[in-house]
Amino acid sequence: MSAMALKSPDRLELLQGTLDMIILRTLLLGRAHGHEIARHIQRTTEDLLQVEHGSLYPALHRLERRGWVAGKWEKASERNREYKYYRLTVAGRKQLLREQSKWEQLAGAIGRLLAAGQEEES
């Protein structure tokens, strides 16, 4: 995903496909519209990961097309306005699990690799 933004050097560049996982993970908490998702990602990662809002929508629509999320125009709870709320589908939940375990394996492997390097160094 080349649309990932790097606003400052200490912000992390997202690996390809990671945005999808993050969106799915966000929706695990319940329905959310695009703006809420963007805000949520920024808050929970303490602005470390900043998603360019523009890249969120192609990702959402892609996920929707694959059937992992379902979008629907619904009234917001606190105000009298309709937004397109996304929800996680059953297939999306499974996909999230798959991605998560893949990510954990990858992270674990890299962690071990780096740890081994440190041992050699010391």
Nearer to another protein by C-beta: 39 or 93? 39
As a whole number of angstroms, the distance between CA 41 and CA 39 comes to: 6
The burial of 112, by beta-carbon neighbours within 10 Å (0-12 exposed, 13-18 middle, 19 or more buried), is given as exposed
Q: Minimum Å distance from CB 18 to another protein?
A: 17
Q: Which of 3, 27, 28 lies closest to 17, judged by CA?
A: 3
Handedness of CA 79, 51, 95, 103 (dihedral sign): negative
Q: How far is the CB of 15 from another protein (least distance, A)?
A: 19
Q: With contacts defined by CB under 8 A, name the span among 19-27, 34-42, 98-106, 112-120 that binds another protein.
A: 34-42
Q: Residue 35 interacts with another protein (CB under 8 A)? A: yes
E strands, the chain, are 32-33, 69-75, 82-88
User: Does 84 contact another protein by CB under 8 A?
Assistant: yes
Q: How far is the CB of 25 from another protein (least distance, A)?
A: 20
Interface with another protein by CB under 8 A: which residues?
A: 3, 33-35, 39, 52-55, 57-59, 61-62, 65, 81, 83-84
